[in-house]
Chain A
Amino acid sequence: MTDSFHRWNGTDSYIADDALAAAVNVATALQRPLLVKGEPGTGKTLLAHAIAEGLGMELFTWHVKSTTRAQDGCWVYDAVARLQDSRFGDRDVRDVSQYIELGPLGRAFSSDQRAVLLIDEIDKADIEFPNDLLHELDAMRFVITETGEEVKAKHRPVVIITSNAEKELPDAFLRRCVFHYIDFPDEDRLAQICRVHHPEVDDKLLAAALRRFMALRSVKHLRKKPTTSELVDWISGLRLAGIDPEKLQTTLPFAGVLLKDESDAQKAAKAGAADGSGGESGGGSGSASGGGWRGWR
């Protein structure tokens, strides 16, 4: 291992704590993929951008969908275009290579400089996807079956993999990754993050907004807790509308930005964390008499 590895520490626009920075540095130095998990909006996707920026590398993003196959990241063969051309086109269809396009993984491999490859939302893909991907990531090369051409990584890219799911990944895969879970930020860190996006924000407004936001997040059994990005958006709205911080103590303007689910809004109102009409709670249930099953409702 050479000493050429650059310590990454976050960027001006990305707030990282020591643990996250350590995980990133372990991954880049050991040349292992970094698997990042965390609630929605905790900055998983943005992290890859910040790493690329901080290390001065190009970023290749591979956004995974339910239909994505591991091979798609390497290359895509446009068979339909070729078929089309064979009937009506004037291209020479015998030259298969015209119909091959490298995917993000392929492009990161062929990049002249070490690059960052983001494999975003790996949990969205089919269950076999990570296992298929393992092979390419281990070998750092693949062969395009249509042309027999081998694509080999000039430099091992820094691989960042994000996931939302509990544990969708096979053990063999996990064993090769450096792992980091981005915990939901505490109030101080949230304030830092908000300041990055709203450097000019009024201290009072920020404090008041954070207090309401934290109260909302503490409401039990929400379907979808408000996230960091929603907080950032919400503060934009508050600032644009020139909302008085005092007012935030009693009302919750633009509540829809924070709580998108109707039943969540009701739950929050019930808990007194948001205003709303459905304040009455508990319709006089007859006292449950009898044995050990009280409270089953």
Chain B
Amino acid sequence: MFAGFHTMLRSAGLQVGLTEWLALVEALDAGIVEPSLRSFYDVSRSLVCRDEGDYDRFDQAFVAYFEGADLPPGLKDKLKAWLSKPIERPALSEEELAKLQELDLDALRKLFEERLAEQTERHDGGDKWIGTGGKSPFGQGGQHPTGMRVGEGAKGRGSAVAAARARRFRNYRSDRVLDTRAISVAIRRLRRLERKSRRIELDVDETVRKTARSDDLVIVERPERRNQARVVLMMDSGGSMEPHTRLVEQFFSALKNGGGLREVETYYFHNCVYNKVFSDMERFVGKDVDDICRSVPPNTHLFMVGDAWMGPYELLAPYGSLEMVTSDKTPGIDRLLQLAKAFPKSVWINPIPENYWHAETIAQTREVMDMVPMTVEGIVEAVSALLGRGPKRDHREPVPMWTRDGVH
């Protein structure tokens, strides 16, 4: 029957393999699991989940499986049945299968049964193994004479199923949209390490080694290895971006801290790019787009981050900007085109899910720049495209599907 729980966990999207299963058996064997479903919940969750995003999946699987089974007595049978039915085969990798064969499963099972019997007995007989009620489990000169402060009163000890059903961790799930590590790893692929830097560094290890072996000081130098890749990042800070703040901040920190890039130059804009972009959006300190486009260093990638969701005139009309400071005769779409031309390596990263990309201004923006969703896959795809390994569209003049009536 417990194989069912295992299956349930897996179908909820958790990676439960032999390692986790064995760990659970080991935990039971070590006497950590008290004969209550709540304790089983806590212990198994700590072994099965790898981040808080997993908690909700775990809760769902747990409820689905244990609903109505909130009583300890049945637990023993279930655990036994579970152990008698090793996990279905396809779930195991070669390596795990080999491991499984090495194990004496019967011995394990027996050990486990004994443990469980012992625990239940002790539990019924008194409080010995749980160690509450004034008997300090540490037994060291009454350091904690009243036992610990855990689980005081009824409040802390809700039923496992009720706790799981509350699904308090539901909102952590969306966090997984962006896996900052995966992004850092992806961005690192942009790295261009070269020892041709003019800067020379002291090779401390070699210097010491040589000096220790000779009578004189021997200085060893070498050219510094430096990552030559740079990124210019332009981020929309407009109002419609507010819900995506966290996502964008995560992306930004992954790029800035994890990417190991030589330089990340950051600018902000509001809804669309016009004549100026800003390093400080509140005080409107910034740089002319013309200046930025005039001198693009080699190995520079342009990352645009924004929802590209705005009023059509903001994108297409002369003087389309909502801000006075960026009042610009050139329509936003032409500014985007200017950027796409100046930066042969550019990509637009959009936090809005792809199924909304048919929206007018998003579709038009995509005509000018490659767009990827702000997800791990999206960014991996973007990096591949930037490195020239993926499908890359050439930037052509936008077809005049939005007529500009010669105002320009």
Across-interface contacts of B181 in A (CB, < 8 A): 127, 165, 167-170
Q: Is B91 an interface residue (CB 8 A)?
A: no
CB-contact partner of A9 in B50, B150, B180, B359, under 8 A? B150
Across-interface contacts of A17 in B (CB, < 8 A): 150-151, 156
Across-interface contacts of A11 in B (CB, < 8 A): 144, 148-149
Q: Convert B9-33 into 0s and 1s, putting 1 for each residue whose CB lies closer than 8 angstroms to a CB of A.
A: 0000000000100010011011110
Q: Is B47 an interface residue (CB 8 A)?
A: yes
A198–B181 CA distance with the chains assembled, in angstroms: 40
Task: Tell me, rounded to whole Å, the shortest Cβ–Cβ distance linking B266 to chain A.
Answer: 17
B242 touches A295 (CB 8 A): no
Residues in A128-173 with C-beta less than 8 Å from chain B = 165-171
Across-interface contacts of A177 in B (CB, < 8 A): 50
Q: Is A288 an interface residue (CB 8 A)?
A: yes
A22 touches B46 (CB 8 A): yes
Q: Is B4 an interface residue (CB 8 A)?
A: no
Q: Is A76 an interface residue (CB 8 A)?
A: no
B50 touches A179 (CB 8 A): yes
Which of A24-32, A106-114, A236-244 is the contact stretch?
Answer: A24-32
Across-interface contacts of A166 in B (CB, < 8 A): 51, 175-176, 178-180, 250
A103–B245 CA distance with the chains assembled, in angstroms: 39
Across-interface contacts of A23 in B (CB, < 8 A): 42, 46
Across-interface contacts of A16 in B (CB, < 8 A): 148-150
- Classify the secondary structure of B's interface with A: helix
Q: Is B72 an interface residue (CB 8 A)?
A: no
Across-interface contacts of A179 in B (CB, < 8 A): 46-47, 49-51
Q: Is B361 an interface residue (CB 8 A)?
A: yes
Across-interface contacts of B52 in A (CB, < 8 A): 37, 181
Given contacts A29-B32, A166-B180, A181-B51, contact A9 B239 (CB under 8 A): no
A56 touches B23 (CB 8 A): no
A171–B205 CA distance with the chains assembled, in angstroms: 33
Closest residue to A189 on the B side, CB-wise? B156
Given contacts A22-B32, A175-B19, A293-B312, contact A66 B50 (CB under 8 A): no
CB-contact partner of B149 in A10, A29, A86, under 8 A? A10
Residues in B195-219 with C-beta less than 8 Å from chain A = 204-205, 207-208, 211-212, 217
A180 touches B46 (CB 8 A): yes
Q: Is B344 an interface residue (CB 8 A)?
A: no
Across-interface contacts of A18 in B (CB, < 8 A): 38-39, 42, 150-151, 156-157
Across-interface contacts of A288 in B (CB, < 8 A): 311
Given contacts A15-B149, A56-B140, A296-B311, contact A86 B30 (CB under 8 A): no
Q: Is B353 an interface residue (CB 8 A)?
A: no
Q: Convert A260-285 into 0s and 1s, putting 1 for each residue whose CB lies closer than 8 angstroms to a CB of B.
A: 00000000000000000000000000
Q: Is A49 an interface residue (CB 8 A)?
A: no
Q: Is A87 an interface residue (CB 8 A)?
A: yes
Given contacts A1-B30, A15-B149, A37-B52, contact A165 B180 (CB under 8 A): yes
Task: Tell me, rounded to whole Å, the shortest Cβ–Cβ distance linking B315 to chain A.
Answer: 10
A297 touches B51 (CB 8 A): no
Across-interface contacts of B31 in A (CB, < 8 A): 3, 5, 29
Given contacts A7-B131, A79-B204, A296-B240, contact A30 B151 (CB under 8 A): no
Q: Is B310 an interface residue (CB 8 A)?
A: yes
Across-interface contacts of B271 in A (CB, < 8 A): 296-297
Q: Is B309 an interface residue (CB 8 A)?
A: yes
A6–B38 CA distance with the chains assembled, in angstroms: 20
- Residues of chain A whose beta carbon lies under 8 Å from any beta carbon of chain B: 1, 3, 5-7, 9-12, 15-19, 21-23, 25-27, 29-30, 32, 37, 54-56, 66, 79-80, 82-83, 86-87, 93-94, 127, 165-171, 174-175, 177-181, 183, 188, 192, 221, 288, 290-293, 295-297
**28 interchain pairs, CB-CB under 8 A:** A12-B149, A16-B148, A16-B150, A18-B151, A19-B42, A21-B148, A22-B43, A23-B46, A26-B32, A26-B47, A27-B46, A30-B26, A37-B52, A55-B138, A80-B204, A82-B208, A86-B211, A167-B51, A167-B176, A167-B179, A169-B181, A174-B51, A183-B169, A221-B242, A290-B311, A296-B240, A297-B238, A297-B271
